Amino acid sequence: MESGGRPSLGQFILLGTSSVVTAVLYSVYRQKAQVAQELKGAKRIHLGEDLKSILSEAPGKCVPYAVIEGAVRSVKETLNSQFVENCKGVIQRLTLQEHKMVWNRTTHLWNDCSKIIHQRTNTVPFDLVPHEDGVDVAVRVLKPLDSLDLGLETVYEKFHPSIQSFTDVIGHYISGERPKGIQETEEMLKVGATLTGVGELVLDNNAVRLQPPKQGMQYYLSSQDFDSLLQRQESSVRLWKVLMLVFGFATCATLFFILRKQYLQRQERLRLKQLEEEFREHEARLLSGAQPRTGRASRAPASCA
């Protein structure tokens, strides 16, 4: 606290920062809670022979937010893995990621750092079909790359370490960046893999499509089952809620500390003011009591010579 009883600049910064962080965490928590609530309210539809009749009876032949589970089947061609034999899929993602150590001038430590230097994703049209044989129904999956949770499996991963000479090492210490190597990864959505789709289910010209939902709802194509997907979202909601409560408590504690300091300083000023007034009253009484005695002493008769 400053001498005037006002909060210091540091306390203002602490209170403002904790308030902003709490507001941001609350916003994220609200968003996550809304996503989990929407996911919980999604209609679960069985991928069977009655799928088209269910959609034909729905308003607009559409279920705005539906959950459907099936096996991946390519429509025509498939994608072959570049590194694994007899590995076929409908989505292929190739990634090159650079790993290096960066010198932190503040902490004087080497920190791990990585960045993607190249990534390419290939897709071919695919359907979701029932696991049972003999059921002639399929759901065409549209815009799979727009989904949040794309159920890709890592089929190949290799790290290529950097080969460094003594001159390179000296140069890296001078520049503050020390490369470690390149990580090469291939991910695929394999043919036959089980996929859970959450989105808009539409019947159009006797064909069933799964596409990104409207009204800002999230689109999922997950390798997990629906219950696991929902549980993961609810766990995320609880995590953000705990973070929000922790920072909210810190904000309230900071505000309470500032207000308590102000209250104590105000009480101290009132006490000092009261003591000062009492001292002045006491001094006035002493002065008023001394004046009559001084007057009587001045009127005393002079002694005889």
Residue 305: pLDDT band (50, 70, 90) is very low
Query: Collapsing DSSP states into helix, strand and coil, what is residue 81?
Result: coil
Please, which residues have CB within 8 angstroms of residue 163's CB and are 6 or more apart in sequence? none
Residue 143: pLDDT band (50, 70, 90) is very high
Judge whether residue 7 has pLDDT over 70. no
Is 198 in contact with 146 (CB distance < 8 Å)? no
Phi, psi of 235 (to 5 degrees): -65, -40
Query: Collapsing DSSP states into helix, strand and coil, what is residue 67?
Result: strand
Question: What pLDDT is stored for residue 182 in this prediction?
Answer: 92
Mean pLDDT to the nearest integer, 57-79: 91
Question: What pLDDT is stored for residue 292 in this prediction?
Answer: 61
Phi, psi of 82 (to 5 degrees): -80, -15
Judge whether residue 294 has pLDDT over 70. no
More confident residue, 291 or 263: 263
Judge whether residue 130 has pLDDT over 70. yes
More confident residue, 194 or 164: 194
Residue 265: pLDDT band (50, 70, 90) is confident
Strand-pair partners of 195: 70
Is 201 in contact with 45 (CB distance < 8 Å)? yes
Mean pLDDT to the nearest integer, 77-92: 92
- Runs of H (alpha helix) within the chain: 9-40, 51-57, 166-175, 226-298
Judge whether residue 209 has pLDDT over 80. yes
Give residue-wise pLDDT tens across range 30-59: 988 888 888 888 899 988 888 888 898 889
Q: Is 287 left (phi over 0), alpha (psi -120 to 50) or beta?
A: alpha
The Cα–Cα gap between 51 and 44 comes to 11
Burial class (CB in 10 A: 0-12, 13-18, 19+), 167: exposed
Query: Collapsing DSSP states into helix, strand and coil, what is residue 146?
Result: helix
More confident residue, 304 or 195: 195
Judge whether residue 88 has pLDDT over 90. yes
Give residue-wise pLDDT tens across range 223-239: 888 998 899 888 989 99
Residue 167 is which amino acid?
T
